[in-house]
Amino acid sequence: MESVTKCLIIRSMIVFSIFSLSCQNKNNPANHSEITINMEQLQEAVNTAGEIVSIKSLLVQQDTTLLIESYFHGVDENFKDDVMSVTKSFTSALIGIAVDKGYIDNIDQRLSDYLSDVIDLDEMRGAITIRQLLMMSCGLEWQGLTTSTDYLAWQSGGYTLDFILDKPFDHTPGVDFNYSDGASHLLSVIVTEATGMFTHDFARDYLFNPLGFATTTWRMGEGAYNIGSTTLKVTPRDMLKFGTLYLNEGVYGDQQIISADWVRVSTRARISTQNAIPYGSQYGFQWWVSNVDEHDLFFANGYGGQFIVVVPELKVVVVTTADWRYSDQTAGQYWYEIIQVIMEDILPAFHN
């Protein structure tokens, strides 16, 4: 922890000086002088995070300034691992890009429009829409947020489409939230069928390369479809770039990578989760949506403590990664400790 803390103190002093000068310039409306930062509180948050056994990285950016970049337990900035369900938010972005580029006409199109040549679909399953998949409201049974998760059974069977689509309906499509890895995977299948490209190749061309990502990997399942719900491996810095893209409504550098409309509609509260997870009372299009300390925010959320948290009003992006190779109970405990640090320690350090 000593080297991490020393690095943070140096960076904190520089950043605090920048913001102090910015606040003196009252004539520049673009300087965000209304944002104040408690750097001591941020340093304490880093110390607290470092005590969590599983945590690997913590990055905090405000506007264009990287305030914190800390790595723990033997990893560095080149470390990358499966970001688990943070993958879902990337898959959502790819759907948006496919719509922007005309590969997908609109998100009210049905599964039957893309999968009828891939797998037999009855009328009800064929009528499931892209919108319902994005909102986790397709209606098909899935145990996704419990210790009896369907994910491991689906994984052990080779990530098949049959496993997903043979599930019975137990919710009303388009009405009830039910967190489903299967629904997210169907979105990846749609990207491939709509574009004629593997989802990972489409992502490289239209998202990863424009953002300047490091080398990425993404596992494939049955039918050569990249797993739409998990298994994407990227670095914490890549995750921060992705969060920054969404903070800036689809713009990175001088390039509009995703339309601002898609960013807005996909990160808006669309359906109640019935408080399925702490800090996640609402859901958008593969993004969790919440309000903490009177600030609206949205976040990508992965098993064990993988997070990309975006707070537009504060222009803040927070990224964490963590080891997830624990029992459900232990991983869940570490997940909760990490999200608590973000929501209760880091975000309250910013004020406007």
Average confidence (pLDDT) over 3-11: 41
Q: Which two tokens stand for residue 109?
A: 């199109």
Q: Which two tokens stand for residue 127?
A: 């009528």
Residue 32 has pLDDT above 70, yes or no: no
What pTM was estimated for this model as a whole? Answer: 0.92
CA–CA distance, 68 with 57 (Å, rounded to integer): 10
- 9-17, long-range: CB < 8 A, 24+ apart: 9/43, 11/66, 11/67, 11/68, 11/69, 12/39, 12/42, 12/43, 12/67, 15/39, 15/65, 15/67
What three-state secondary structure class fits 46? helix
* Predicted pLDDT at 25: 31
Is there a contact between 284 and 298 (Cβ–Cβ < 8 Å)? yes
In degrees rounded to 5, what are phi and psi of residue 301? -140, 125
Average confidence (pLDDT) over 18-40: 53
* Predicted pLDDT at 57: 98
Q: How confident is the model at residue 12 (pLDDT cuts 50, 70, 90)?
A: very low
* Predicted pLDDT at 169: 97
* Predicted pLDDT at 321: 98
* Predicted pLDDT at 311: 98
Higher pLDDT, 204 or 7: 204
Strand 288-292 and strand 295-302: the pairing is: antiparallel
CA–CA distance, 183 with 319 (Å, rounded to integer): 25
Is there a contact between 322 and 305 (Cβ–Cβ < 8 Å)? yes
Residue 17 has pLDDT above 50, yes or no: no
CA–CA distance, 88 with 298 (Å, rounded to integer): 13
CA–CA distance, 240 with 30 (Å, rounded to integer): 22
The model's pLDDT over 275-329, given as tens digits with 9 standing for 90+, comes to: 999 999 999 999 999 999 899 999 999 999 999 999 999 999 999 999 999 999 9
The model's pLDDT over 37-96, given as tens digits with 9 standing for 90+, comes to: 999 999 999 999 999 999 999 999 999 999 999 999 999 999 999 999 999 999 999 999
CA–CA distance, 213 with 227 (Å, rounded to integer): 19
Is there a contact between 35 and 315 (Cβ–Cβ < 8 Å)? yes
Q: Which two tokens stand for residue 128?
A: 């499931």
* Predicted pLDDT at 7: 45
Class of residue 312 by CB neighbours under 10 A (exposed 0-12, middle 13-18, buried 19+): middle
Q: Where are the beta strands (DSSP E) in the chain?
A: 36-37, 55-62, 65-71, 81-82, 217-218, 220-221, 225-226, 232-234, 251-252, 255-256, 271-277, 280-283, 288-292, 295-302, 306-311, 316-322, 350-351
**Structural domains of the chain sorted by starting position, each given as residue range(s) with its CATH number in brackets:** 2-84+213-218+229-351 (3.40.710.10), 87-199 (3.40.710.10)
Residue 11 has pLDDT above 60, yes or no: no
* Predicted pLDDT at 146: 77
**Mean pLDDT, the chain, integer:** 91
Residue 197 has pLDDT above 80, yes or no: yes
* Predicted pLDDT at 3: 38
Is there a contact between 73 and 83 (Cβ–Cβ < 8 Å)? no
**Which percentage of the chain shows pLDDT scores above 90?**
87
